[in-house]
Structure 1
Amino acid sequence: SHLRGPAGPGQPTGGWWSGIVGPGLAIDTDRWYVVAPNMLGGCQGTTGPASVAPDGAEWGARFPYITIRDQVRVQAALADALGIDVWAAVIGGSMGGMQALEWGVGHPDRMRRLAILAAPAIASADQIALNSVQTEAIRMDPAYRDGDYLDAADGDGPHRGLALARRMALLNYRSPDELNQRFSRSWQSGISPMGDEGRYAVESYLDFHGNKFTRRFDATSYIRLIDAMSSHDVGRDRGGVEAALARVRAATLVVGIDSDRLFPVPDQRLIARHVPGSVDGGEVVVISSDYGHDGFLIENEAVGRELARLLDAAV
């Protein structure tokens, strides 16, 4: 989706950081020129599987395997085209945090400040396992047709597999406490779920968001982006993670969410301890939130305070 602004044509939801980026906000657009490119492999502008290939047909399943490092190479080319030699700051959360860290390691002279939020330096076995079952859910949908579905009629396509993959992901975006507080064991209707007809409210929540996601996202894009996250390892071909982190030259803020079960705080602690320019003496700023991984998107006051502190730092 887009960084900030209301929902509209092509954007069924509001901007994901509208409470952080904008006039007078933590990332103040009256002060800073903000660039937020869609990522390579996605389906919101930058080339992805639904884009037209040089032969005039859509890429579809022919779209190549990509890594976080590939995505950052594309972003660096964009910076070159814009005439930006050095960023005032590179900031990212979740997959964007992987990209931001790759910027810091792979292009250490091209930023003054770096912020990594709710992201790891390397994808763990647990994270790769979660990713694998999501992509398998899509591939097992008969409508996926080995990725050859882009000519399907409106309403057709691997929507069931994509919705199921999104439901799996949502379970790790939110925390157990938040789900219990919101839904407990409540029923979706007056019919008991202890049978074949009724449902629990939390099931309906997952269905709603899974189905909503299929209206704005391409299944093969989802697979390519998930695979890119599994590929993430800043230490690959660089002597390992610690040696790679030692390359970072920017003043670096590292933020974790205490209830994040997708990329838990130890992932951020590894980064903070090994980047030379930690603004917090090698410590992670831990934000308390009931919202799990999505806390970096929801806890605007706490996240904004830390980002403003970084941007105000003299470097």
Structure 2
Amino acid sequence: MSDDQRFGLARQVTLAQPLPLDGGGRLAHVEIAYETYGTLNADRSNAILVCHALTGDQHVASTHPITGKPGWWSRMIGAGKPVDPARHFIICSNVLGSCMGTSGPASMDPATGRPYGMSFPVITVRDMVRAQAALLDHLGVDVLQAVVGGSMGGMQTLEWAATYPDRVQAAIVIASAARHSAQNIAFHEVGRQAIMADPRWNGGAYYGTGDPPAAGLAVARMAAHITYLSEAGLTEKFGRRLQDRGEKGFGFDADFQVESYLRHQGISFVDRFDANSYLYITRALDYFDLAEEHGGLLANAFRDKRTRFCVVSFDTDWLYPTAESRAIAHALNAAGAAVSFVELSSPFGHDAFLLDMPELNQVVDGFIRAGEA
């Protein structure tokens, strides 16, 4: 296996044509940052697109350039793993609106020579998928062996199957939903308000100041991170244990281990993510409602489709609970689509799809290999 196959190739492309947007108009000079692993075979039939979650990026199986940590899904992607560069041509792109090389609010607006800031257009999950489709056109990939993603990545996977069914042979949707619930919209609004209440946000015009709204973004991350965990997981990991002290401090320092953990999550997040991108991507998630896009009936999104589906949920995920995945499976059944559905047991809540889960690897590996038989 070559170095490129092992570690991935990092690239960036500027789309040749303006990108149409659900909110109206077109976005010109769209740049997409992406990584590839493996080699596209002679008949171009082995491409797998991996879609990342809200705060993820294209560094799916390579060392992150900012944090120095392994790729966010290196447990799933690599030699001998379910998505293997020895068998597959793997593509992962940074989503539209993000901040790791794909066009977003921190990008330079060619019309003004300054960062877009809040003049960047509001986007949707379908806009993200349109950008990915344009990237695949650039790469010469007409049909995907599979699209796979968890959380927001699962929403992109569903959107791929609904919008470009002839380009998707198989879709693997993990810990996700076909629409954002009122509760999830509420959590996102708390995070957005935390960012916008930070005086350093300055209406989104903080680029170049060296003083971004780090405090607001950290609080937004802390609030969101709670939803990625489970009560059982938090109790097992932290309980009510005190942090580096024998007794309560009777003040507002981080007395408890769980407080210290959340503060660390918030502080470390601001080093790698842009506050405005957080606003834009959470809004795209809030707007996501696949049934609404297809006449109000989810099954309509999948009728007469030849795509095979695998839907996976976790029993302690309260962000996107099993009921949401079961609704997707029911809609697929109603549409006559081929679907496998499984609920896995884990104490780790929504984040289970990112952790060491041999059962998840077995499900994904078996589903992909079934399509290769």
Compute the TM-score of the two structures, normalised by the length of structure 2.
Answer: 0.80
Give the counterpart of 2:275 among 219, 222, 227: 219
The one-letter amino acid paired with 1:312 is R
2:158 aligned with 1:101, yes or no?
A: yes
Q: Distance in 2 between matches of 1:87 and 1:149?
A: 40
1:147-186 aligned within 5 A: 147-153=204-210, 156-186=211-241
2:169 aligned with 1:112, yes or no?
A: yes
Aligned-pair CA distance for 1:102: 0.2
2:121 aligned with 1:56, yes or no?
A: no
Q: Distance in 2 between matches of 1:150 and 1:247?
A: 47
Q: Distance in 2 between matches of 1:45 and 1:302?
A: 33
C-alpha offsets along residues 10-62 of structure 1, whole Å, 9 cap, x if unaligned? 34432111011011111111000000111000011111111111121111111
Q: Distance in 1 between matches of 2:316 and 2:114?
A: 44
> Residue 179 and residue 108 in structure 1: after superposition, are their counterparts in 2 closer, same or farther (change >3 A)?
same
C-alpha offsets along residues 99-138 of structure 1, whole Å, 9 cap, x if unaligned? 0100001111111111000110011111111111111110
Q: Which has the larger helix fraction?
A: 1
The one-letter amino acid paired with 1:50 is A
2:330 aligned with 1:273, yes or no?
A: yes
SS at match of 1:188: coil
Contact kept in structure 1, 2:304 and 2:337, CA below 8 Å:
no
Contact kept in structure 2, 1:105 and 1:247, CA below 8 Å:
no
SS at match of 2:91: coil
Q: Distance in 1 between matches of 2:126 and 2:90?
A: 21
Aligned-pair CA distance for 1:272: 1.0
How many positions carry a matched residue from both structures? 309
Give the counterpart of 1:291 among 333, 337, 348: 348
> Residue 237 and residue 98 in structure 1: after superposition, are their counterparts in 2 closer, same or farther (change >3 A)?
closer
Compute the TM-score of the two structures, normalised by the length of structure 1.
Answer: 0.94
> Residue 232 and residue 197 in structure 1: after superposition, are their counterparts in 2 closer, same or farther (change >3 A)?
closer
Q: Distance in 2 between matches of 1:15 and 1:242?
A: 35
The one-letter amino acid paired with 1:88 is Q
Partner of 2:9: none
SS at match of 1:21: coil
Q: Distance in 1 between matches of 2:305 and 2:198?
A: 42
Q: Distance in 1 between matches of 2:293 and 2:355?
A: 36
Contact kept in structure 2, 1:167 and 1:206, CA below 8 Å:
yes
Q: Distance in 2 between matches of 1:169 and 1:101?
A: 23
SS at match of 1:279: strand
Q: Distance in 2 between matches of 1:212 and 1:238?
A: 40
Partner of 1:83: 140
Q: RMSD over aligned Cα, in angstroms?
A: 1.5
Aligned-pair CA distance for 1:292: 0.4
Percent identical among aligned pairs is 39
Aligned-pair CA distance for 1:247: 5.3
1:1-315 aligned within 5 A: 1=57, 2-7=59-64, 9-54=65-110, 55-153=112-210, 156-190=211-245, 192-193=247-248, 195-196=250-251, 198=253, 199-240=255-296, 241-246=298-303, 248-275=305-332, 276-280=336-340, 284-314=341-371
C-alpha offsets along residues 143-167 of structure 1, whole Å, 9 cap, x if unaligned? 10110111212xx210000000000
Greater shift, 75-84 or 237-246, is seen at: 237-246
SS at match of 1:27: coil
Q: Which has the larger strand fraction?
A: 2
Q: Distance in 1 between matches of 2:191 and 2:115?
A: 23
C-alpha offsets along residues 219-260 of structure 1, whole Å, 9 cap, x if unaligned? 000110100110111123421223223354311000001110
The one-letter amino acid paired with 1:163 is A
Higher relative contact order (CA 8 A, sep 6+): 1
SS at match of 1:192: coil
SS at match of 1:90: strand
The one-letter amino acid paired with 1:277 is A
SS at match of 1:314: helix
Q: Distance in 2 between matches of 1:190 and 1:108?
A: 57
The one-letter amino acid paired with 2:114 is A
Q: Distance in 1 between matches of 2:231 and 2:79?
A: 35
The one-letter amino acid paired with 2:233 is E
